[in-house]
Structure 1
Amino acid sequence: MEQVTYQRDPMEDLFGLLRDQRRRLAIYYLRNHTETESINVGTLATAVASLETDGQHPWRAGERSTEKGRHPADTGGEDERNSTERVEISLVHTHLPKLHERGIVEFDRENRSVETAHPPDEFWDGVRDCQRFSAELAGTKVEH
């Protein structure tokens, strides 16, 4: 009996990576804020928690909240600190390892640092296509 082998579908991988909002926000932040140097995972967690709290989704320009610029750490509230801690835990244990495995980020768990890797252009083309499609569904324009 012949063994059947299946190849991974690159679009399926892309959609799997982009399926999670927190992962999309982490990719967006890293792509736009860490051109050449790594950042601490705590910094990334604070930024992602802030984007989540503010409802700021860069690919949905028309859906931003009115509380722009509010960082969870700025409010001093227990809920916000807990939120940032939960984001950091999920980044360290789930999202960053998955992105590292696919070559999207360089994640050093021991030093708690992360930076954008140099994935193939096809990845970023796919991300832009997904953003455009999402924006078309929402009836908004995507900034490049």
Structure 2
Amino acid sequence: MSLNNKAQQEVLLKLASDLMISDGVIDQSEKELINFVKSQCTEGVSELENFNLSEIRDVFGSKKAKVSMLLELIGLAHADGYYGKEEKVFINEIASVLNINEANLNELENWVRRQLDLVNDSVMFMEE
């Protein structure tokens, strides 16, 4: 995880959980993903219970922090192999609050898809 700040990690956990339930269902693989994200956080970091989305501008002030968080969320959204409408709407809302325009968000989404394609290719290379 590229977010080192405790406040950023807490917000990421909250947003990741909200993202996973954005389609109305959270399955076992999504629960495992949330647990993995938690395991990558600094000790003592826990998911926020109450959070106003407009506050993310204060927590993610630099472009690097904004992009890192969006890449994490987009990757999580793709983890089940399906980037659904509800997930896209959720991520678009976050990008909007962070003043990340649609063109930049599309570039981030494309980057994540390319990375996932590379991972899938490497798995195929290793199959017998």
Bigger fraction of residues in strand:
1
- TM-score, scaled to structure 1: 0.27
- TM-score, scaled to structure 2: 0.30
- Larger RCO, structure (CA 8 Å, separation 6 or more): 2
Whichever of the two has the greater Rg, that structure is 1
Bigger fraction of residues in helix:
2
